[in-house]
Amino acid sequence: MNKKSFTALLIITLVLSLFLAGCGSKPTNTLEKIKQKGVIVMGTSADFPPFEFHKVEGNKDTIVGFDIDIANAIAKRLGVKLEIKDMDFKGLIPALQSGRIDMIVAGMTPTPDRAENVDFSDLYYNSQQVVVVKNDSPILKFDDLKGKTVAVQIGTTSEEAAKKIPDVNLKQLNRVGDAFMDLKNGRCDAIVLEDTVANAYLKEYKDMKILSMKEINTEEGGMAVAVAKGNKELVNIINEVIKDLKASGEYDKLVDKWFK
């Protein structure tokens, strides 16, 4: 073997060794990665009170809510810190699939379509879809929505519920708060969203009311934590946390804290 061949072979061997070493040290699943980092990264869309929203005190802006307390309980069980990444709801599943976040805790409903791309925990909260209109709105029942402009947060089950309304002009928005501003300023006629979130927003928007309409509700309901596909062990731990919170009475305390 001449000197050039030997040098080339040495370089190839070195590169291959480094590649294999890197592969060997890379976490094989989300749970292993979380434990190695000492941090679990939660993705959410913090415009969804009382589940997740921004609380500003002085110069400090903190994301708080029912979902944050659930996520903190999961982090505590794993013995790691919680990091929160706020983004548009439609970007949550892509962020999970790309590894930028470790779990989604964002009032997400486990639909069959979503379950093709992520794994879900057991439900940790149940909810229903409702319609929000102004107090003086002529909209009183489901049929009155025909031909009206209805605002929804894009990528949500509320959007799917609104699609059941015949001849509706659907206005898809990235943030729930934008929908309420549009309704307030006459840029839409109604909003479809979860009942608990609607009640939270109506504390600020006193000129609006909630209408319950069975026509927009389906058997699909409730909220669950989402993780990347194939992370059964992590899902099991999250399910244990949800079960233990309910058994200990801590879950009821969180419900009283955020919903009453």
Give the CATH architecture of domain 30-126+222-259.
Answer: 3-Layer(aba) Sandwich (3.40)
How large is the average pLDDT for residues 51-59? Answer: 94
Give percent of the chain above pLDDT 70.
88
Query: Exposed e or buried b for every residue in 11-22, given b needs 16+ CB within 10 A?
Result: eeeeeeeeeeee
Per-chain mean pLDDT for the chain: 90
* pTM for this prediction: 0.79
Domain ranges of the chain: 30-126+222-259, 129-216
Q: Which of 66, 90, 71 is nearest to 81 (CA)?
A: 71
**Greater model confidence, 171 or 28:** 171
Dihedral sign of CA atoms 234, 237, 241, 243 in order: positive
pLDDT tens, residue by residue, 72-103: 999 999 999 999 999 999 999 999 999 999 99
Which pLDDT tens digit goes with each residue over 105-121? 999 999 999 999 999 99
What's the one-letter identity of residue 198?
A
Weakest-pLDDT range from 13-27, 71-85, 245-259? 13-27
Return phi, psi of residue 12, to 5°.
Answer: -60, -45
Q: What is the 3-state secondary structure (H, E, C) of the chain?
A: CCHHHHHHHHHHHHHHHHHHHHHHHCCCCHHHHHHHHCEEEEEECCEECCCEEEEEECCEEEEECHHHHHHHHHHHHHCCEEEEEECCHHHHHHHHHHCCCCEECCCCCCCHHHHCCEEEEEEEECCCEEEEEECCCCCCCHHHHCCCEEEEECCCHHHHHHCCCCCCEEEEECCHHHHHHHHHCCCCCEEEEEHHHHHHHCCCCCCEEEECCHHHCCCCCCEEEEEECCCHHHHHHHHHHHHHHHHHCHHHHHHHHHHC
| pLDDT, position 221 | 73
Domain 30-126+222-259 shares a fold with domain 129-216: yes
What's the CATH number of domain 129-216, 3.40.190.10, 3.30.450.40, 3.90.1150.10, 3.40.50.300? 3.40.190.10
Q: Beta strands 52-57 and 60-64: pairing type?
A: antiparallel
Nearest Cα neighbor of 97 from 229, 257, 188, 207 is 229
